[in-house]
Each structure stands twice: as structure tokens, then as C-alpha cells.
Structure 1
């Protein structure tokens, strides 16, 4: 042992820090016994009794207890977070579906209103065209009546003019005849008119 003094110092916690590091590592490992080295080429380990797995399997009911003791708050928080996200995603999906329904319903109603409006405009336009046609026909009939009335008035005026002209001619002829007769007789006309 005298040839290897540094090993004695390490095990007894001597002056250098290497011994302390090794003991600290042993404490961190929870005081586990050092495992025997395993020959990787061996088919079966040398001693199966002393060989224990590095991490023993925990019983099924120990996991919730361990979770409740050590990381339970974190796991509960993460479960709450997952549930919250799931609820929020469901709400968002519902909201999107409802908005789509409202939008589609509005589009259908808008199409119905637009169709009704187009129908009413078409009816009003057809009625206006019908009235315009009637007015055009009425105007044509009125113009024709007016032209006929004008023609009749002109004809009657010509007839009246002809009648007046005939009467004037007769009176002129009578006056001239009486004037000749008076000249022949040599008698002046009386103060009364013959007409």
C-alpha cells in the first residue's frame, strides 16, 4: 500500500479533492453498491444473483404516488393546460362552424333578396314599357284625331268662305243691277235700303 499512497488518501478523505468528489458521487447515487463489471462477450453474466438492474422497475401504483409527491403539481398543471387547449380548440372549431353557418345563411338570404329585387325591378320595367306603349298608341290616336279635326275645320272654313263669297257676289250683282235700273229710270234711290 505504500506504493500507492494516493488511493489511501482518496478513501480516507485526504487532502486532495478527488476523494471528496468520489464520495459525493456515491451519495448522489443514493448509496448504491458498485455494480460488478459485466463482460460484454460473455453469454451469461458471471453472477446473476448479485446482478441488479441499474433502475429497478417501480410498481404501477407507485407512479401516481411519486407523481403526487414530487412532480404532481407540474403534471397536474400540464394536464390542465392540455384540457384547456382542448377546450379552446373545440370552442374555436365551434365558433368557426357557427360563423360559417351565419355567413352561408346571410349569403342565401342576400341571394333571395337580390332575386326578389330583380323580379320587382323587371315587373316595374315591364309595366313601364306597357304604359309607354299605351301612351305612344294614345298619342298616335290623339295626333290622328287632331289632324282629322284640323282637316274638318279647314274644310268647314272653306265651305263657309265659299258661302260668304257667294252671298257677297249675289249682293254685288243686285247692287249693280239696281244701279243700272235707276240710271235707266232716272230716279234716285230712296233713303231706305233695298236690302
Structure 2
């Protein structure tokens, strides 16, 4: 049978591109009019064998021509599960309406370079602003720590100062009380001494006055006696 001459197909080839042969035999009208439900054909066995044998020979020729060329692997084809690009000119259907590649403007490179530079500048500015914000936050936190520590130390110093001042005032008041007591005692003693001196002075003054009175009385009495006798007193005193 002619069916044995067909080459085995790889199971990985799930999809086969459309093949246009140079001299493909025209199938009969009965073959063109086959329904998609694969109903049995009414052709004779001889016509069917000739048709499949010609198709098998053409496919063998295409396989030999394609295997002689070096395969080129395209990453785009790898992404769509096609390992090798089809290079057989008999198997490639040319695209009659190709999509033109996008054309870049003359100043595109400069614009791209400018946009890249602007992006780098903006990134640098953002990083600089982040660093500045971190520095400001750190500075504020450190100053707040220093101020809080100063306030705590100030409270401690104020408490220590108040304690020392209170103790000093207490000692001063105690000394003042002692001084007042000493002053009172000294004043009282001075007053007592003055009163005693005054009393002694009065006593001495009274004694001197009494002595003076006695002497004056003696002189008066002696004068009366001399006057009665008629004698003159001598220069020598009787009392001295």
C-alpha cells in the first residue's frame, strides 16, 4: 500500500503551517466536497492511493529541503512554543499586508536621554529629600532628648538648691535666736551693772555729803568758840 511510504510525524508538532506545493495534483470534486464530519468517500481505491502517494512524495521533498538548512532559534518563537523558525520557502506563506515597524523621530534619542537624565535627577532629588528629612527628624529627636535631660537636671538642681537654702535659713534663724538670747542676757546684765553703779554712786555721794556737813558744823562751832574767847585762829587747821 502507498500509505506505508508516509514518514512518521513528531507528536510535539501539534500545529502544522499551511503548505503550498509547486505542483500539487488537483483532487477530484468528490474530495473537495467532503463534509467535515469525515463521511466515507465514494472515490475508487485507485484514485485515493494515487493522491496520497503524491502528497507523501511532496512532503518527503519538503522535509529533506528543510533539514538541509541551519535552524535559527528566535526567542519570540520560543515564547509561543515554536522551537525553530520555519525556513523552508515552500512552506512559508508570505504576508501580503506586513505591519511597518514603528519609526522613531530624529530627536528621539536626545529626548530619551533627556528623560533619563530628568528621571535620575528626580530620583536623586527624592533621595536627597529623604536624607534631609531623616537628618531633620534625627536632629529634632536629639534636641528633644537634650532638652528633656536638661529639664530633669534643672529640676534636680532646683530641688537641691531649695533644700540647701532651707537648711541655711534654718541655721540662720537658729543663730539669730541664739544671738537674740545672748543680746537679751547681755542687755539685762548691762542694765543690772548700770543700776548697781548708780546705787553705789548714790551711796558714795550721800556719804561725802554727810562728811561735808559734819566738817562744816565743826568749823562753825570752832568759829563761835574763837569769837567767844577773842582769839584769832591759827594758820594750822584743826581738821586737816
Q: What is the match of residue 156 of structure 2?
A: 112
5 Å-filtered alignment, 1:37-186, equals 73=117, 76-186=120-230
Matched residues in 2 for 1:183 and 1:148: separation? 52
Matched residues in 1 for 2:197 and 2:217: separation? 30
Change (3 A) 1:69 1:174: closer
The 3-state SS of whatever aligns with 1:84 is helix
Q: What is the match of residue 231 of structure 2?
A: 187
Change (3 A) 1:76 1:193: same
Q: TM-score, normalised by structure 1?
A: 0.55
5 Å-filtered alignment, 1:18-37, equals 30=102
Matched positions, count: 133
Matched residues in 2 for 1:191 and 1:135: separation? 65
Question: Which structure's residues are more often helix, by fraction?
Answer: 1
Matched residues in 1 for 2:165 and 2:141: separation? 36
Q: Deviations over 1:7-56 (max 9, x none)?
A: xxxxxxxxxxxxxxxxxxx97x949xxxxxxxxxxxxxxxxxxxxxxxxx
Higher Cα Rg, which structure: 2
Q: CA deviation at 1:156?
A: 0.8
Q: CA deviation at 1:145?
A: 2.0
The 3-state SS of whatever aligns with 2:155 is helix
Q: CA deviation at 1:70?
A: 10
Moved over 4 A (4+): 68-79
Matched residues in 2 for 1:180 and 1:70: separation? 155
Matched residues in 2 for 1:140 and 1:94: separation? 68
Query: Greater RCO between the two (CA within 8 Å, min separation 6)?
Result: 2
Q: CA deviation at 1:165?
A: 1.1
Give RMSD over aligned pairs.
3.2
Structure 1 gap segments, 5+ residues each: 1-25, 32-67
Change (3 A) 1:186 1:70: closer
Q: CA deviation at 1:99?
A: 0.9
